[in-house]
Amino acid sequence: MSSVLSPEMRRRAGGRDIRIVFDEATIAARVHALGQEITAAFPDGELLVLGLLKGSFIFLSDLVRQIDRPLHLDFLVASSYGSEQVSSGNVRLVYDPETPLEEKHLLIVEDIIDSGRTMKKMLALLATRRPASLAVCALLNKNLLPVPIPEVRWVGFPAPPAFLVGYGLDHAEDYRHLPFIGDLN
Ligand code: IMP
Ligand code: MG
């Protein structure tokens, strides 16, 4: 498989030369395997899948269709605030799931774990809701944390030290709709 964009994909990317890191077929195969692992990990109880918007939306929609058991689906919208723009360390929920979280197996679906600050704050917040269990499935992990987050049970791919876009990931809201994951630089 070539890492160079076809003319069609180049047009979709607004003419930008993005290098393909994980192509559509590679992603589909991995998402299928993750779905099987997640199915096996939750033999009983109520499973509530929580997609962290907006970056997880494509991964989330593909992943839930590979999970072979009953589940409910909702979203989380986090907002960082403080002096810095992102990863300021302060995270609050600007959309909180309507359904009660108590006694349910919660599976958080995230696009990419970078510094891990967003995820750590989110997990601390959700743990106060007394779920039956709390686990994370991240599409990508940059593996920058000296100590891994124990709740991160599933990772699609280790991420190279690059700025990745596509398959839900954006750069200033561009490129979310690209069907592959690519390196912007
Ligand atoms: P963290 O709190 O530093 O782990 O930041 C995680 C968030 O930053 C992710 O949910 C993404 O929205 C964003 N992010 C981090 N790295 C990338 C990247 O390479 N491409 C696109 N978004 C990224
Ligand atoms: Mg983002």
Q: How many whole angstroms from 126 Cα to the centroid of ligand 2? A: 20
Find out whether the beta carbon of 54 lies less than 6 Å from any atom of ligand 1.
Answer: no
In a domain, 106, yes or no: yes
In a domain, 131, yes or no: yes
In a domain, 38, yes or no: yes
Instruction: Please tell me which residue in 114, 170, 174, 183 is annotated as part of the active site.
Output: 114
Which pairing describes strands 90-95 and 72-81: parallel, antiparallel, or unpaired? antiparallel
Find out whether the beta carbon of 55 lies less than 6 Å from any atom of ligand 1.
Answer: yes
pLDDT averaged over every residue in the chain: 92
For the chain, the residue count is: 185
pLDDT at 81: 57
Q: Are 79 and 94 contacting, i.e. CB atoms less than 8 angstroms apart?
A: yes
pLDDT at 55: 96
Q: Are 136 and 156 contacting, i.e. CB atoms less than 8 angstroms apart?
A: no
In a domain, 30, yes or no: yes
For the entire predicted model, the pTM comes to 0.93
Residue-wise pLDDT tens digits, 68-125: 999 999 999 987 655 444 455 677 888 888 789 999 999 999 999 998 988 998 999 8
17 annotated active-site: no
Q: How many whole angstroms from 163 Cα to the centroid of ligand 1? A: 9
Indicate if the alpha-carbon torsion angle 111, 81, 49, 174 is positive or negative: negative
Whether the pLDDT of residue 156 is over 80: the answer is yes
For the chain, what is the domain count? 1
What's the CATH number where 148 sits? 3.40.50.2020
pLDDT at 1: 61
